[in-house]
Structure 1
Amino acid sequence: MTPDQLIALLHRHWAQTLAELDADERAQLLRRVAALGDAVGRGPTLRAVRDVGRMLHRLPAHHPVGAALNDAVRFAGPDTGREAVVDRARLVDLLGFLSGPPPTADEILDTTRRRLLRAPARGADAALAAVADAAADDLIRLHHPELGHRYPEFQFTPGTDELRPVVREVNRLLLAGQDPWGAADWWLGGNTWLDGVPAELLDAVPHELILAAARALVEDD
């Protein structure tokens, strides 16, 4: 299991994870997650992931994080090859949760949504042509409590109101119309397959690689 996969799994099931730990275990997990955030380089990062994983192996087999770790934890061998990717924005969220009382599922969701709404986006007026031409799953639409509907900027060809074809394809794979927050989190979070944030790599890597990363997620589910 890669660093980003572990962080994403924790982030998705954080409330359930904390519910299974006592105060001492939570403090220990805080130290290990903090060490993951401070790790630099492939070797130290993977060792920090391993330390977090060992702790979470204590979780019951039916727990979603425990089940995934018990079934599929895999680590790289020598400290060579591609750099390990760590989604530090998510780690900051997790450390904040660990430092205070156990969060509710709604609090976790709210924190994730606030992070996604901080990304560059345009309102409905600026996205009018794309919205009119898009099917439900083609375009990510997020609701801002003050600004109304927001459309993450990475979806559009720069300088236009046209939807990027690769974004349309990936959004369809991710069922963006049904789960816009989940699709936005995939685009704006770290991705081990791509060694970076998909939205930031749209002009840097072949679009076939971005599609392959999205397909890998769907096939894993």
Structure 2
Amino acid sequence: MTPDQLIALLHRHWAQTLAALDAEERTQLLRRVGELGDAVGRGPTRRAAREVGRMLSRLPAQHPVGAALHDVVRYAGQDAGRDLVVDRDRLSDLLAFLSGPPPTAEEILDATRQQLLDTPARGSRTALTAVTGAGAEDLIRLHHPELGDRYPEFQFLPGTDELRPVVGEVNRLLLAGQDPWGAADWWLGGNEWLDGVPADLLGDVPDELILAAARALVEDD
């Protein structure tokens, strides 16, 4: 991961990142990001990016930045055969975010919902077949302020309009009809039980394992 990619990832998830760190950790992260901005040359830039990655490795595994940067200490800023470039505009914005107060609960919620809306999805017309054959609890439906109702793509069998059976089962467990955002967050966030993102694991791990992870969450509650 290059410094540019690191900054872009932080920039996108700044609210969740700040919320996951205490005051001392935010101060340390601010200093490390500042050092990245001051770094000149390939070696110093690579080292500065590595230090930022080290800070972010403290984030929970299910955190979007923490999950993406799980191996950042090893990979951040590695020489890819070209000069490392830092996006100064993004870095300036990031420093401003880090210098300010922690995000409010509303800002964190808005940022999380925007992240969920950014995932590939289909509109109501292309989801009609699945919707017709499924109950309200079977399918996650997220309302986009501009595009209307959206159905995350991972729910469907590739190349079809059919709902994946395991997705319907898990969505019922997670009460997707009552809390579609919470259900979407479970599918698209890091999961320690599965050691990955459930939506990304569909088709690669047994359906029973994904269902067991959802049951474990419900039982813990």
Whether TM exceeds 0.5 here: the answer is yes
Offset at 1:31? 7.0
Q: Check if 1:215 corresponds to 2:215.
A: yes
Q: Write the distance in 1 (CA, Å) between the matches of 2:121 and 2:111.
A: 18
Alignment length (residue pairs): 167
Offset at 1:102? 2.3
The correspondence for 1:38, drawn from 46, 53, 65, is: 53
Instruction: Output aligned runs, 1:1-221, within 5 Å.
Output: 11=16, 14=19, 26-28=26-28, 38-39=53-54, 49=58, 87-88=64-65, 98-221=98-221
Partner of 2:79: none
Deviates more, 1:125-134 or 1:97-106: 97-106
RMSD in angstroms over aligned alpha carbons? 3.7
1:122-156 alpha-carbon deviations (Å, 9 max, x no partner): 00000001112221211000011110000000001
Query: For the Cα contact (< 8 Å) 2:18–2:26, is it kept in 1?
Result: no
Query: For the Cα contact (< 8 Å) 2:18–2:103, is it kept in 1?
Result: no
Q: 1:211 to 1:113 in 2, by over 3 A?
A: same
For structure 1, the 5+ residue unaligned runs are: 1-9, 54-83
Q: Write the distance in 2 (CA, Å) between the matches of 1:85 and 1:107.
A: 19
Query: For the Cα contact (< 8 Å) 1:155–1:164, is it kept in 2?
Result: yes
Q: Write the distance in 1 (CA, Å) between the matches of 2:106 and 2:118.
A: 19
Q: Write the distance in 2 (CA, Å) between the matches of 1:200 and 1:36.
A: 29
TM-score (ref. length: structure 1): 0.63
Q: Write the distance in 2 (CA, Å) between the matches of 1:14 and 1:149.
A: 29
Q: Write the distance in 2 (CA, Å) between the matches of 1:105 and 1:111.
A: 10
For structure 2, the 5+ residue unaligned runs are: 1-14, 33-48, 70-93
Amino acid at match of 1:88: V
Q: 1:105 to 1:208 in 2, by over 3 A?
A: same
